[in-house]
Amino acid sequence: MTEIASSPGNVMAVEPWPGKAYPLGATYDGSGTNFALFSEAAELVELCLFDADGTETRITLPEVDGFVWHGFLPNIEPGQRYGYRIHGPYDPGAGVRCNPNKLLLDPYAKAIDGTFDWNQSLFSYNFGDPDSRNDDDSAASMPKCVVINPYFDWGVDRPPGHEYADSVIYEAHIKGLTETHPDIPEQIRGTYAAVAHPAIIDHLVALGITAIELMPVHHFANDSTLVDKGLSNYWGYNTIGFLAPDSKYSSNPNPGGQVQEFKTMVRTLHEAGIEVILDVVYNHTAEGNHLGPTLSMRGIDNAAYYRLVDDDKRYYMDYTGTGNSLNVGHPHSLQLIMDSLRYWVTEMHVDGFRFDLASTLAREFYDVDKLSTFFELVQQDPTVSQVKLIAEPWDVGPGGYQVGGFPPQWTEWNGKYRDTVRDYWRGEPATLDEFASRLTGSADLYENTARRPVASINFITAHDGFTLRDLVSYNEKHNEANGEDNNDGESHNRSWNCGAEGPTDDAEVNALRARQQRNFLTTLLLSQGVPMIAHGDELGRTQQGNNNVYCQDNELSWVDWSAADTDLMEFTRTVSQLRTAHPVFRRRRFFTGQPIEAGGLPDILWLNPDGSVMSSEDWGTGFAKSIAVYLNGDAIPYMDLRGIRVTDASFLLFFNAHYEAIKFKAPKKKFAPQWRPLIDTATGVVPDDAKTLKASATLEVAARGLVVLEAVPE
């Protein structure tokens, strides 16, 4: 039996059992807890247990196998708070930064309790002298890891398992979506429980949403620089716990209670047929560059977890613009990512992941390599390979823009779709041919790599940038509230204010803005691929021209439910229902442009406003901004609910991005004897008794307008 020093003046006798080297982290089995931590740099590892009053007990882990330090403590139960201290070399120039005076978070912690108190003790150097060493004890200023109860009654929970082609994704922030909703009890607003509230679920179901993509819920740190300004890291792209749901979004006050609340949210969403996709940040951590704090991996095994500069290992390779990049070339760093992904699928029942700055995960050495070890591991993993995998296919490093360059089982945020559709509807020249490509699934990006239209996650707006309403209301960003003299955020937004900057009383400008929002939403929902709506866009949400609200945890960034544009919301529901009802808008294969049968009509046909078929010369006309497309429903045979093989209806879409109204001519009778207007973005949803358009007849489409017509058979 050994005497282990705890907090100053406190000594206790503890003899841990050897335990096991796997699984990593703290694992409760009903009789006690096994602790296991990887560190090749460590010479000794102390497990630090904390009582409710903050009293610390230090226990040396007795065993090490394959650089995994481990021990089992009987009677340690869920709710126990803990951390680690690592004894070993401190030589930043050689890439090692062990300092036992810094309490460290377990990279495998499944819950974290508390917040960071930003002060000198969290840093391993003295402010103003980065080459010095600081030995202030950081325990009092650190949050603590929590041993969790892994048991949960999932009941009959099962993943909804929606096909990509049938999916409509809703990107949302836990707090931003729910903080002001009047039907949600105040005590749970901004939490996992709020997302599971019937008010939110009913809204999502009415919109036809099949998956909610949650902005980062992994435990993250509020940057000290933002805290000093009275701001906070609202978005959460500053992870420090890859297996821990953030306690800031929990209404359960008990240590570790956020895990149970998160699972309850997932179970409830699944009951409504809604999948849960997590926006995950495995490319960097909150520890930042060489001037950042020592919170976890930096002090555990700096060189194993981070990409260091080869010729001076005191510095970090930064492909993310955040100070560091995770070392995906190291087996234990890769293991952490893969273990985290599997945990969220198997234990938390999530249905997929959107990978922030995913190109960084492909950087084994310097260049982006789509066949890197990380992607090979995902391909081979029987669990992770079966869920939805969405890449943000770029980072800030050389060659980092990789739209269209990810492996076959991956889908991608299609930034080219966003840019092209924005340019088309604001009237930029020479966009017609690329607009047609984006509308039909971006075959130029995905078909040559054996992928299908669903590889394209189509979006007009996302959390990063203008909201949809602001996209049509501002030419310039207005980020003054961020305290960076309006220098942060993207300056080239492809936006158009429709004639006035910001709010206006001009009725014509407001009418045009409303029409443009309907144009964008209709284009998005009726394009081939997978549509993604940013939360609140269907409600007319504004951020007052701020296109970078990463630090604005307040009314500027939250969805204001009291100001919801109910007309726009109903319009969005209608268009979404149209997509759901007709497979022609959610094809599983790319169009061929060829007749379905000899002498028949093709699966798609592009037409000029006068009804003639588009020629190569027409596509090359830079000033053209108007086009019609025929979608042949006979090319979409499917089984109806009775098990009878049927085909879909055919549709005609008139797009007019010109600043004047244009007359469009319907095609000849062999296409359809008449056409029934369903959507007219100049007015909204067309009444059921609206006059039909006969074959070869003309219809005037409003300036910057879109009309959707359904073929009416004889």
As annotated, the active-site residues are 356, 392
Strand, helix or coil for residue 436: helix
**How would you classify the pairing of strands 169-172 and 211-214?**
parallel
- Token pair, residue 425, equals 């509807």
Task: Name residues whose C-beta falls within 8 Å of residue 595's C-beta, 6 or more positions apart in sequence.
Answer: 601, 602
H or E element at residue 374: helix 373-380
Residue 133 to residue 135: CA distance in whole angstroms: 7
**Rounded CA separation 577/678 (Å):** 12
Return the number of other C-beta atoms located less than 10 Å from residue 596's C-beta: 15
DSSP string, 603-639: SEEEE-TTSPBP-HHHHT-TT--EEEEEE-GGG--EE
The position carrying tokens 């009047």 is 182
Structure tokens at 470: 């602001």
Please count the other Cβ atoms lying within 10 Å of the Cβ belonging to residue 230: 8
User: Of how many residues is the chain composed?
Assistant: 714
User: Which of 614, 650, 645 lies closest to 632, judged by CA?
Assistant: 650
The C-alpha angle 345, 368, 326, rounded to 5 degrees, equals: 55
In sequence order, which residues have a C-beta less than 8 Å from that of residue 623 and are 6 or more positions away?
429
Does residue 423 come out as left (phi exceeding 0), alpha (psi in the -120 to 50 range) or beta?
Answer: alpha
**Cα separation, 363 vs 370, whole angstroms:** 9
- Rounded to 5 degrees, what angle do the CA atoms 638, 642, 646 make? 30
CB 42 within 8 A of CB 66: no
Tell me how far apart the terminal alpha carbons of the chain are, to the nearest angstrom.
91
Distance CA 525, CA 514 (A): 17
Handedness of CA 326, 332, 334, 339 (dihedral sign): negative
**DSSP string spanning 489-505?**
S-S------TTSSSS--
CB 93 within 8 A of CB 44: no
Rounded distance between C-alpha atoms, residue 675 and residue 713, angstroms: 9
192 closest CA partner among 252, 234, 255: 252
Closest C-alpha to 535, from 173, 162, 283, 175: 173
